[in-house]
Copies of this chain bind each other. A is one copy, B any other.
Amino acid sequence: MLPIVYLNGQYVPKEEAALNVADLAILRGFGIFDYFRYTQGRPRFIEDHLDRFLRSAKLLSLDMPADREALREAVHQLIQRNGGGDGGIRFVLTGGYAPDGYTPTRPNLVGMADPFQGPPPEQYETGIRVILHRYERELPEVKTINYLEGIRIQPMIRQRGAQYALYVDREENIRESDRSNFLIVRDGKLVTPTDNILHGITRLHLIKLAAELDIPVEERTVSVAEFMNAEEAIICSSVKGAMPITYADDIAIGDGKPGPITRKLMQAWPEYAARHEG
């Protein structure tokens, strides 16, 4: 009975895949996750994602109950048992069942394979509209499950006719979007923040792709003012790939259309990503 979920070493129908209410994700929001796509049954950038998932666990002192080989095997089992094709793999590792409601114990490990649903295709043509929102993520370098603020502001984003938020820190720099990394084009160079961000796998590979395409890259802070005057701007994630930002509220970025460097990256991305599947 599909979908099939990996739960602490077992494969169970999703409707039976549950965590007891004593789990620290439910009681205290304590957990990490990772997410990546698979196409035609082949996971994308799998080793990078396993690296990051293992690193996130270490940074929260969570004992990962499966080693890299077992995680890799779970990925392939999940894809196969859910019929192959295209989809997304999500791993979640929680603080486990805590008798005192606070202290992490043996973590619960969940793996899910869900149908892939990308953004509406027209967004790649027109670009997206963002709002600027003052927020600094806690533990930005760890892929924790904490999305309280991102979820809380969804109605506000929609109300302002936008699709995503860019997070602005106290120094008036833009660090990230609510589930994506952030880049701009400035004097023909791709510029992207690197401090106090979640180091996205798509961001990492867009930088490598830029090198292949002879687009210069600078990793440094980006101010709000610099973004508003940028030639082009992009958010990127495993779900989106590279997605052009064309408006911040009613202000056009560049000429309000996806620019030449963004287009070049979007065009080259599927072939680049396909080279990193398997």
Contact = CB atoms under 8 A, between A and B. Distances in A.
Interface stretch (A22-30, A64-72, A195-203, A243-251): A22-30
Contacts of A218: none
A1 interface: no
Task: Give the number of times this chain occurs in the complex, counting copies.
Answer: 2
B145 A27 contact: yes
Contact of A30 (B102, B147, B179): B147
Given A19-B18, A21-B14, A138-B138, A104 B29 contact: no
Interface residues of A, number: 49
A112 B22 CA distance: 9
B26 A26 contact: yes
A176 to B, nearest CB: 15
B28 A26 contact: no
Interface in A145-160: 145-149, 151-152, 154-155
A215 interface: no
Q: Please list the 4 inter-chain residue pairs (A to B) with the smallest Cβ-Cβ separation, ordered nearest first.
A: A29-B29, A18-B18, A28-B147, A29-B145
